[in-house]
Structure 1
């Protein structure tokens, strides 16, 4: 007799539909039946005529590609190209057309046009004002200004020393350039450190925009100097209140009263003389009257009633930016209103990104930063400029749109120059202006900006500086190639060349100049321009070594275990410690040992231990470069 299996076999394949359906005998429609039904439906539609065309509102910016316009109109790109051909405009899909042409196309296809100008894309913060009831008080942002060597940094260090909470965070502030101090009554003050040379007036002029109060540091034994006056003018232009800190009062030749009288010439009238500017006599080295200075800042900030809304998307300013080899582009951001959180999408100048991590002035990772808090932000697409606005936006598409618009504006500014006619082309060639070409690399963006600004100011009618390229980071092979093609020296400000760049430079005889003080750099360029080159300071690199391990030595010092990679290392020579080709410290070798013995020198291929004078910032993987300095009179 037939089994049950035979019966099952006749029922056909078990499909999902059949398994789920209740009726036992319902059969799934075959593919052919489905196809026939579809054909029938299509024929029916054809007879009924085409469906009504959908009319769209098409947003058209000042310039748009044909393909992009087709997407916005939901039409085929080929149809748009065909229509343009009929109008006598042979174009491709990727070609850009202007607003008027786009309008013709949009109306031709029966849609409505909405024109927007490019500038609508940019973020306009002026219209976005917070309601008074949302504002809460925030810490004051204080910028310290003054002349070189009047003790700005030592005053900052003294204040930071008075701030016991800060712990051992000395090294961080050099990078971040901004930090918070907590006062005994738990209130906070944010300090911005602006370097002292006049070339930093660019950054200073920008720094004053984020500042609530300026502390003007004047040395009691030196009085007012050119940069002091410059700082007064910047502060006045920014409309920011000022507190005068008369420093170095512990010196016997200090004359604080004379400083007050000199300030009168520049219409800065201190309270003792019947004015409204507070002045405090301080000594950074002896830590005298620092509490009075902090009190003066608190008093001034109470008068100003500094407030911001913390409950909104963050806005701020980039104080400093640099390229880090391990972490990519970094920016120190001072939040001005709102709260910045990890994961926020933002635009900073012409670069966009997402906050991957934030590091505060103590070197700790933080999850959020409120108004007046300075943080280092990781996650940018490129290095922004110091002084750029930092704004959190709703999504990545918006961030990219704003960044690309701003980049376009910058490119346009850079590439649009006066139209060249034959006459002025020949006039340019005939001009007798001598040029000093330079390639400049520095460790942070602010330094680059200041150096370029300072060098451009040196140009005269007879001779001018031509900066072929300036950038952040170590000196690379491409920099050397560019310099050798034009016979330009390469200036490294706190950075060194990598090994490949050194090799190419030796082959092509490219000159490297290294500086860490901006006015030594400008003095050298000045003398190079004048042709009055002073004695040539020749650095002969004697040897290089790699730090393999670091050991504690004594209470504070550290010893480094080195492998000498080339040349020799001698005791007492000058040395440079570099980390990823950026100079960490300049020092000298104070002791040199092999095993337990003190030795005078160690040759390549051997290992040794060294103690470096005046530095504790040593890490495994750093490179040590040892050099001799020799002054030689120039012969032309």
Structure 2
């Protein structure tokens, strides 16, 4: 007994024509949907579709991964809350944060707990790295020479990183410079057994995670410092992960062995839980017990650094155009943009045309870690570089270009591409005061933030801490971070990307402030990083309750200064915007950075004391208990306005 085509098509949820086409491919003679086929033939077709369904069901439990996922991203793929995954990781002996990357093995183990498989796939054409190397030189073996190793010291806060670096710097300066002041430029060189070693002084606080990641990738040897009385801590694990991800040899310095409660053997045991098995236990991880405070065994630690570096056979070609990495950067009023660069290959010379990120220029001067001007810097040498058009970001690649035009064109292309990537669609204006309500109503899924600060390190600190505030309901994103005052361009970027602006030790200029009012952009400025973090956290939780808000009422430009006996320094000033009131608060800005906050001590028009001065008029202003006034300074005058709350 057979079955008609239309009946089988209905059973398999197919169109009649689809089933006829399948049967014809099997060389079965079919005239129409009314034709009848044998049950054996029908079973063959049924088996075909059962296999496809099984294959589809299997695929539903497979997560395709191109690269590593964070705990949060894996949670989204598994439809499991990140906190639950963190608990699972703790049970597996791994401490992790919500934004921590997971390796393939760990992802597979976690996924299996929830009935999923991880499948590693090759990604399609990845987005072009707009900041990558432009010139790819191929060095001949005979052109390569041994170079100094670059070392990064990483570890948990208070485990002695700074003490260790200071001890190494003081006891290993080059001959003739003992007792001299070593300039702090974020990196420096010391001499060990007549060999140079470069140290990257990366920040040690947990908020600088990405800086540590960049440091590890720019380094040849990582010293992980662990306090013998405290053991392996979350930041220690982060440091280990960064060094392992960068495939950098690790030396563990077990510090504070002079303390009575030191337990170095316990530290070694804890290290094994994170894949570091010490040599005396049959592994390949070098450990050195030290006391950074009492300078015990520092020579042995440095000898291990040299031995490890020797095994790596670190070489570079000094006779080619240089490239390197930006370690730190800031805007200096007297010198302009200043960047600490670590030359990785080639030699950087005075007069070279350079590009770093979206900044470009010509090397005007170079200063080494002893404050001395130098004409050139070879491989693994850290120097301060003057002559860039703008402040680059830490981690940007610095590269010598054939001409100034070439460097400028590349920098401009990168800036345009960067802005294009940063601009995203937005639906509703966001501000911290109403953030919780917008979250509850589902209007806000992403909290975008533009960060401006006085130095690059502060940007990194704010960025990492803010990203850690992300929850299941809201993803915190930093769409832009830059050094310098808050500009009109920053406000327009915030408007286009529906972001709030957070300024640290910087303020918006007059045009930026007016544009922000017009575009309804929320600008928050801070002098203490944790207050910024707390405000955002409280806003997300609906706990931010400001009773007063700051209102800028006027702006003054210092055009002259003169000293008055028994009074102090007075600024001859011009009111460029708004009104100046005698009893208002005052903030002194220099190059967009906050230099001082205080009160007006005197306000005069000619020789007369006045209560206020309006826009377009000159005046004399004194600041209470402050005399460091310079021509070009800007005084921002503000007062606090009470917020009336409705019940």
- Report the TM range for the smaller structure's normalisation: 0.5 to 0.7
Give CA-to-partner distance per residue, 1:115-138, whole Å, 9 cap, x none: xxx989998678522111111111
Residue matched to 1:134: 143
Structure 1 counterpart of 2:352: 344
> Structure 1 residue aligned with 2:215, among 186, 189, 207?
207
Q: 1:432 aligns with which of 443, 452, 459?
A: 443
CA contact (8 A) 2:252 2:288 kept: yes
1:340 is displaced (CA, Å) by 0.4
Q: TM-score normalised to the size of structure 1?
A: 0.59
2:159 is aligned to: 150
Map Cα deviations across residues 382-432 of structure 1 (whole Å, 9 max, x no partner): 32222222211222233234334433443443347799xxxxxxxx99843
1:364 aligns with: 372
How many angstroms apart in 2 are the aligned matches of 1:364 and 1:491?
36
* Largest Rg, 1 or 2: 1
1:286 aligns with 294
Partner-residue secondary structure (3-state), 1:268: coil
Establish whether residue 169 from structure 1 lines up as the match of residue 181 from structure 2.
Answer: yes
Residues 216, 231 of structure 1: 8 Å contact kept: yes
Residue 472 of structure 1 corresponds to 483
1:592-603 equivalences in 2 (<5 Å): none
* CA contact 1:317–1:390 (8 Å) conserved in 2: yes
User: Is 1:459 paired with 2:470?
Assistant: yes
Is residue 2:264 matched to residue 1:253? Answer: no
Q: 1:525 aligns with which of 536, 542, 561?
A: 536
Aligned to 1:385: 393
Counterpart for residue 181 of structure 1: 190
Kindly tell me the number of residue pairs found equivalent between the two proteins: 459
Check whether the contact 1:434–1:464 (CA below 8 A) recurs between aligned residues: yes
What are the Cα deviations for residues 581-616 of structure 1, in whole angstroms up to 9, with x where unaligned?
657999xxxxxxxxxxxxxxxxx9599899xxxxxx
- Report matched runs for 1:297-336 at 5 Å: 297-336=305-344
Q: Summarize the alignment of residues 64-83 of structure 1 with structure 2, pairs less than 5 Å apart.
A: none
Aligned partner of 2:526 among 482, 502, 514? 514
After superposition, the Cα gap between the structure-2 partners of 1:429 and 1:494, relative to the gap in structure 1 and judged at 3 Å, is: closer
Q: Tell me the TM-score normalised to structure 2 length.
A: 0.58
Cα displacement (A) at 1:177 = 1.2
Structure 1 Cα separation of the partners of residues 243 and 373 of structure 2: 33
Partner of 1:410: 418
Root-mean-square deviation (CA), in Å?
5.1
**What is the CA–CA distance in structure 2 between the aligned matches of 1:606 and 1:321, rounded to whole Å?**
31
1:259 and 1:442 mapped to 2: Cα distance? Answer: 38
Consecutive unaligned residues of structure 2, counting only runs of 5 or more, are 1-126, 428-438, 551-557, 572-579, 598-620, 637-644
Residue 303 of structure 1: CA displacement? 1.7
Task: Flag the 1:397–1:581 CA change in 2: closer, same or farther, 3 A.
Answer: closer
Note if contact 1:213-1:243 (Cα within 8 Å) is conserved in structure 2.
yes
Shift of 1:463: 3.7
CA gap of 1:415–1:469, structure 2 versus 1, over 3 A, is: closer
CA offsets 1:520-555 (integer angstroms, 9 cap, x no match): 64344223322345999999xxxxxx9x99xxxxxx
Q: d(CA) in 2 for partners of 1:619 and 1:250? A: 50
Conserved in 1, the CA contact under 8 Å of 2:209 and 2:464?
Answer: no
Query: Aligned partners of 2:581 and 2:264: how far apart in 1?
Result: 54
2:441 maps to 1:442: no
Q: Which of 234, 239, 242 is the equivalent residue of 1:226?
A: 234
Distance 1:579 1:416, change over 3 A: closer
User: Which of 153, 160, 163 is equivalent to 2:169?
Assistant: 160
Corresponding position: 1:193 with 2:194: no
Q: Which 5+ residue runs of structure 1 have no aligned equivalent?
A: 1-117, 420-427, 540-545, 550-560, 569-575, 587-603, 611-617, 626-633
User: Conserved in 1, the CA contact under 8 Å of 2:426 and 2:497?
Assistant: no
**Compared with structure 1, are the counterparts of its residues 607 and 442 closer, same or farther at alpha carbon in structure 2 (3 Å cutoff)?**
closer
Partner Cα separation in structure 2 for residue 120 and residue 498 of structure 1: 33
Q: CA deviation at 1:216?
A: 0.4
- C-alpha separation between the residues in 1 aligned to 2:134 and 2:478? 34
Deviations, residues 447-500 of structure 1 (Å, cap 9, x unaligned):
324533442342334345465764212456887999999999764435567899
Q: 2:353–2:407: 8 Å Cα contact kept in structure 1?
A: yes
Deviations 1:302-353 (A, max 9, x none): 2222111111111111222222233222221110111100001122223322
**Contact 1:214–1:243 (CA<8 Å) still a contact in 2?**
yes
Alignment map for 1:74-113 (pairs within 5 Å): none
The answer to whether the 8 Å contact 1:443/1:495 transfers is: yes
User: Distance between the aligned counterparts of 2:454 and 2:143, measured in 1?
Assistant: 40
Secondary structure of the structure 2 residue equivalent to 1:218: strand
Identify if the C-alpha distance between structure 1 residues 473 and 414 changes in structure 2 by more than 3 Å, giving closer, same or farther. Answer: closer
Distance 1:475 1:410, change over 3 A: closer
The Cα shift of 1:152 comes to: 1.4
